[in-house]
């Protein structure tokens, strides 16, 4: 999946409080790994995620190899919009 870095960050910032923890627990991964997926760079406490970043407008293009975290984030946003 290809997405701009800015759009990836917008998704992360739109998530309700506690969503990073929720995603990490549901997928049985470190919270920092989820943060790294959305553009953080703390690889001492979390795993490196599989994506390739090409510089360009809107922060460049990010190619996500595994979209599981992104899809879970989208589901949480959909739940939030449905309950609003």
Helix (H) or strand (E) holding 62: strand 61-64
Give which of 82, 81, 72, 79 is closest to 12, Cα–Cα. 72
49 and 23 Cβ atoms separated by less than 8 Å: no
> Would you state the pLDDT for residue 83?
77
Q: What is the mean pLDDT of the chain?
A: 87
Chain segment 17-27, per-residue pLDDT in tens: 999 999 999 99
CA 46 to chain CA mean position, Å: 13
Chain segment 32-58, per-residue pLDDT in tens: 999 988 887 765 665 556 667 788 888
Q: Give the rounded percent of residues in the chain with a pLDDT score beyond 70.
A: 86
Handedness of CA 59, 65, 69, 74 (dihedral sign): positive
Distance between CA atoms of 33 and 20, rounded to whole angstroms?
Answer: 9
């Amino acid at each position: 999946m290809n997405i701009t870095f800015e759009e990836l960050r917008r998704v992360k910032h739109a998530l309700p409080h506690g969503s990073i923890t929720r995603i990490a627990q549901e997928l049985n991964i470190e919270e920092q790994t989820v943060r790294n997926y959305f553009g953080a760079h703390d690889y001492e406490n979390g795993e490196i995620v599989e994506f390739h970043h090409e510089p360009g407008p809107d922060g460049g293009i990010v190619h996500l190899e595994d979209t599981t975290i992104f899809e879970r984030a989208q589901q949480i946003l959909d739940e939030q919009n449905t309950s609003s």
